Chain A
Amino acid sequence: MRLFGHRLTVPAAIGMAIVAINIIAAVGAPILAPFPEADVVGDAWADADPTYWLGLDNLGRDIFSRLLFGARMSIGLSLVITCLSFTIGIVTGFAAAIAKGWVDIVLSRTVDLLLAMPTLIFAFVVLSVLGTDIPVLIVTLAILDSVKVFRLARALAMGISAMDYVEVAKVRGEGLWWIITREILPNAMQPLIAEFGLRFTFAFLFVAALSFLGLGIQPPAADWGSMVRDYREVILLDVPAPFYPAGAIAVMTIGVNFVVDWLLNIHATSNGRRA
């Protein structure tokens, strides 16, 4: 099988299937889920049966429905965070590479500063001070993530802006916007897309970790990380509930990684040099 003119490997196909199922779950949650995410529909920790496919949780909510809504929250949130962090990272990274001089120094040193601090702890501090609203969560994580994008974008733009065609554009009298969007960005797309997949999984795991620690998504909204936290006490009581959200996180992460590996591979071979 081929996709975009490239041979689809078995892991890539599996990865794409996982991603597709998750996206369908996330988008279609309100239609697909048998119950609303926050409704108590029976006894706590009821066993699985034909009505409640994966049983009920600590408050008597349907676990399967919460998984679907959780996918919506976890995936949607990670996607928004990653998009925002890429926008910030690419704009600042390209600006640093092209402007050089003090702009580069200020941006690069700020980024070094952010990189020097443990991300999770830094996020903890910010979220404890500013509260755990979803917009605050998104902006905080996006900024923390964008420093890594900045490094890549800056390195790519440095390499590309040394090319003669960028010099041609400068000498022609093109503005900065043209040079960034027409000369540099199209030539940096491939590695950036591969990086996007990778950063998405990190954002995803990070949101899950924060939720598990109680600083991410707040109840009653469902999300996989907070579901693991809510169900963790019963892990000793022979109830399989914690494994469902934890498994969903693991499977989703592996699936996205398969797809990313495939993208990186294409990039490495089509270019012959960079991997």
Chain B
Amino acid sequence: MSRVTGEIILEVANLRVEAGKSVLVDDVGFTLRRGEVLGLIGESGAGKSTIGLAAMGYTRGACAITGGRIVYDGRDLRAMDAAGRRRLRGTHIAYIAQSAAASFNPAHTIMDQVCEIPLRESGLSKDEIRARAIGLFRELDLPEPETFGDRYPHQVSGGQLQRAMAAMAMCARPDIVVFDEPTTALDVTTQVEVLASFRRLIREHGTSAIYITHDLAVVAQIADEIMVLRHGRMIEHGPAEQILQNPQQDYTRRLVADRAEGHLDRPDLTETPLLELRHVMASYSGLFHVTNDVSLTLNRGDTLAVVGESGSGKSTLARVIMGLLPRESGEVRFDGATLSPALRSRTRDQLRRVQMIYQSPDVALNPNQTLHEIIGRPVQLYFNRSRNEVRARVLDLLRMMDLPEAFIDRKPAALSGGQKQRVGIARALAAEPDLIICDEVTSALDQLVGEEILRLLKRLQDELGIAYLFITHDLGTVRRIANKVAVMLKGQMVAGGETSVVFAPPLHPYTELLLSSVPEMRADWLDEVLLRAQGKHG
């Protein structure tokens, strides 16, 4: 079945990790052969990172490995003393973290940090190790490999830094590399390149790897075996093709099925413009033009998605519409009337009719207020209702969000991420708006939870006729819920119109790049993309 038939390099059996009284990982076991890649997949809190670190005999803060065996190359890590384990880390088993920016020391050059461990442990000369590092830079497609290492971390891009981190991990020629969500913080187009370099690197060096991610489509490109985790337990484990094509467990089936699902029903639409932007320009302190000549129209009850990579100005566009960043020129019309550029000169009714839902529910809800206060305040402020009416309305909204009524006197800290996001939606709805701006509302949530939020938003649109402006980088979301789409690149709108038209040939080159960068849930997707790219350049 498997591509790899080498000797077993790592064996984990009956692993159990506890933090205080709670069990983080329970009864998890796997074997890793030389050259094999194991994908660990699951939602946040599933114990993926904990297992990845435990494979190095390491645990975070208050956690402790309380059961099981971790055998690396015939040696049980748990039986070793701390100094012995420390000698293995970095040299025999290396780790690549999610955020390279936070893992590099900004005060040293990249070369110094890449060479640090081999210099100390391998006994090779400085020049030999430098040559090895430069070789790795070249293999990882980093620009000017000879001099790349002389730069400081802030002088290279995020994707390059992530690759430099792989060079750092590989420089000591480890047997095993643990990748902990290494592409999650990157844009889709960058993710493809980084993923491709990682895969080539570990294949060429015959390194074994544990690849941790929450994105099944990403792991499909790189892993030989996939293990699905949930709440610290193994749900399913098998060869990658089997998990993707023939999942046995219900949870895995839901994960696999989710991406494949089609467009949610669209309501019958009237062609009354609700929000119109004409030649809008805005900049930060007059220097950086973050949105440049943007024009778009959103009809009443319709859904418009604004897509683009980070830095494309899509969130700024939302701030301009809200009045948080006054526009410099152009016009924003809402329901026929011009919205003034600054927040302060808008009427209370104008403020009420445009609401916003934020990306991260943790910082969008005041941790010191109860849900009653959070959701009730707009009701009280805009509609001037009595105390009892406010409370009744909050209970109504909680029911509408499928949240228990008992939550009304709780504070956000007592809620899960998905529940908090529902509270954010309830707060927006409390103002009875015509338009809700959704800024990356699902990107901080786990896949299945985000899916529920999307369905909820869709249901509310059908019931209440609210228009949505979706700001997102997830093209899957766009295809499913948006009737219209605007593609942004460096503050400019490069394509716009009906989703079905924009996403169908002839494509704008940037739209094509975006579309082709979204990982698909089949193992040969990455090869195809690389082949196509090669064909174009060669």
Contacts of B324 in A (CB 8 A): 167, 170-171
Residue of A nearest to B364 (CB): A164
Encode A146-176 as 1/0 by CB contact (under 8 A) with B: 0000000000000000011101101111100
The answer to whether the Cβ of A118 comes within 8 Å of any Cβ in the partner chain is: no
In the complex, the answer to whether A165 meets B343 with C-beta atoms within 8 Å is: no
Contacts of A187 in B (CB 8 A): 366-368
In the complex, the answer to whether A168 meets B351 with C-beta atoms within 8 Å is: no
In the complex, the answer to whether A171 meets B367 with C-beta atoms within 8 Å is: no
In the complex, the answer to whether A186 meets B323 with C-beta atoms within 8 Å is: no
Q: A187-B366, A187-B367, A187-B368 are in contact. Are A171 and B360 (CB under 8 A)?
A: no
Residue of A nearest to B351 (CB): A173
Contacts of B368 in A (CB 8 A): 186-187
With both chains docked as a complex, state the minimum distance between the C-beta of B355 and any C-beta of chain A, in angstroms. Answer: 8
The answer to whether the Cβ of B427 comes within 8 Å of any Cβ in the partner chain is: yes
Residue of B nearest to A183 (CB): B366
With both chains docked as a complex, state the minimum distance between the C-beta of B469 and any C-beta of chain A, in angstroms. Answer: 14
In the complex, the answer to whether B363 meets A165 with C-beta atoms within 8 Å is: yes
Contacts of A174 in B (CB 8 A): 381
Q: How far is the CA of A168 from the CA of B348 in the complex (A)?
A: 14
In the complex, the answer to whether B427 meets A164 with C-beta atoms within 8 Å is: no
Interface residues of B in 306-364 (CB under 8 A from A): 322-324, 343, 348, 351-352, 356, 358, 360, 363-364
Encode A208-226 as 1/0 by CB contact (under 8 A) with B: 0000000000000000000
Among B352, B363, B366, B368, which residue has the most Cβ atoms of chain A within 10 A?
B366
Contacts of B134 in A (CB 8 A): none
In the complex, the answer to whether A172 meets B378 with C-beta atoms within 8 Å is: yes
Contacts of B369 in A (CB 8 A): 182, 186
Residue of A nearest to B428 (CB): A168
With both chains docked as a complex, state the minimum distance between the C-beta of B15 and any C-beta of chain A, in angstroms. Answer: 26
Contacts of B365 in A (CB 8 A): 165
Interface residues of B in 59-85 (CB under 8 A from A): none
Contacts of B393 in A (CB 8 A): none
In the complex, the answer to whether B363 meets A164 with C-beta atoms within 8 Å is: yes
In the complex, the answer to whether B381 meets A170 with C-beta atoms within 8 Å is: no
Residue of A nearest to B359 (CB): A164
With both chains docked as a complex, state the minimum distance between the C-beta of A74 and any C-beta of chain B, in angstroms. Answer: 35
Q: How far is the CA of A186 from the CA of B351 in the complex (A)?
A: 25
Contacts of B352 in A (CB 8 A): 173
Task: Categorize the interface residue count of chain A.
Answer: 10 to 19
Among A167, A171, A174, A186, which residue has the most Cβ atoms of chain B within 10 A?
A171
Residue of B nearest to A164 (CB): B364
With both chains docked as a complex, state the minimum distance between the C-beta of B144 and any C-beta of chain A, in angstroms. Answer: 37
In the complex, the answer to whether A168 meets B343 with C-beta atoms within 8 Å is: no
In the complex, the answer to whether B363 meets A171 with C-beta atoms within 8 Å is: no
- Name the contact of A165 in the complex, choosing from B322, B323, B364 (C-beta under 8 A): B364
Contacts of A167 in B (CB 8 A): 324
With both chains docked as a complex, state the minimum distance between the C-beta of A150 and any C-beta of chain B, in angstroms. Answer: 23
With both chains docked as a complex, state the minimum distance between the C-beta of B352 and any C-beta of chain A, in angstroms. Answer: 8
The answer to whether the Cβ of B199 comes within 8 Å of any Cβ in the partner chain is: no
Q: A165-B364, A187-B368 are in contact. Are A172 and B343 (CB under 8 A)?
A: no
Q: How far is the CA of A183 from the CA of B374 in the complex (A)?
A: 11
The answer to whether the Cβ of B508 comes within 8 Å of any Cβ in the partner chain is: no
Among B323, B377, B378, which residue has the most Cβ atoms of chain A within 10 A?
B377
- Name the contact of B343 in the complex, choosing from A170, A182, A183 (C-beta under 8 A): A170
Q: How far is the CA of A172 from the CA of B365 in the complex (A)?
A: 14
With both chains docked as a complex, state the minimum distance between the C-beta of B434 and any C-beta of chain A, in angstroms. Answer: 15
Q: How far is the CA of A170 from the CA of B377 in the complex (A)?
A: 13
Residue of B nearest to A162 (CB): B363
In the complex, the answer to whether B343 meets A171 with C-beta atoms within 8 Å is: yes
Q: How far is the CA of A264 from the CA of B323 in the complex (A)?
A: 39
In the complex, the answer to whether A173 meets B363 with C-beta atoms within 8 Å is: no
Interface residues of A in 61-92 (CB under 8 A from B): none
With both chains docked as a complex, state the minimum distance between the C-beta of B398 and any C-beta of chain A, in angstroms. Answer: 18
Residue of A nearest to B355 (CB): A171
With both chains docked as a complex, state the minimum distance between the C-beta of A4 and any C-beta of chain B, in angstroms. Answer: 16
With both chains docked as a complex, state the minimum distance between the C-beta of B61 and any C-beta of chain A, in angstroms. Answer: 10
With both chains docked as a complex, state the minimum distance between the C-beta of B393 and any C-beta of chain A, in angstroms. Answer: 16
Contacts of B366 in A (CB 8 A): 163, 165, 182-183, 186-187
Q: How far is the CA of A167 from the CA of B437 in the complex (A)?
A: 14
In the complex, the answer to whether A171 meets B356 with C-beta atoms within 8 Å is: yes
With both chains docked as a complex, state the minimum distance between the C-beta of B424 and any C-beta of chain A, in angstroms. Answer: 9
Q: How far is the CA of A174 from the CA of B377 in the complex (A)?
A: 10
Contacts of A182 in B (CB 8 A): 366, 369
In the complex, the answer to whether B367 meets A168 with C-beta atoms within 8 Å is: no
Q: How far is the CA of A85 from the CA of B130 in the complex (A)?
A: 59
Encode A18-61 as 1/0 by CB contact (under 8 A) with B: 00000000000000000000000000000000000000000000
In the complex, the answer to whether A164 meets B377 with C-beta atoms within 8 Å is: no
Residue of A nearest to B378 (CB): A172
- Name the contact of B360 in the complex, choosing from A164, A173, A183 (C-beta under 8 A): A164
With both chains docked as a complex, state the minimum distance between the C-beta of A100 and any C-beta of chain B, in angstroms. Answer: 12
Contacts of B377 in A (CB 8 A): 172
Contacts of B343 in A (CB 8 A): 170-171
In the complex, the answer to whether A164 meets B358 with C-beta atoms within 8 Å is: yes
Contacts of A171 in B (CB 8 A): 322-324, 343, 351, 356
The 9 listed contacts between A and B (C-beta, < 8 Å) are A163-B366, A164-B360, A168-B356, A168-B358, A168-B364, A171-B323, A173-B348, A173-B381, A174-B381
Q: Which 6 A-B pairs have the closest CB atoms?
A: A186-B368, A164-B364, A165-B366, A173-B351, A164-B358, A163-B363
Q: Other than the known A164-B364, A171-B356, A183-B366, what 18 A-B pairs have Cβ atoms closer than 8 Å?
A: A163-B363, A163-B364, A164-B363, A167-B324, A168-B427, A170-B343, A171-B322, A172-B351, A173-B351, A173-B352, A174-B381, A182-B366, A182-B369, A186-B366, A186-B368, A186-B369, A187-B366, A187-B367
Q: Which residues of A contact B (CB under 8 A)?
A: 163-165, 167-168, 170-174, 182-183, 186-187
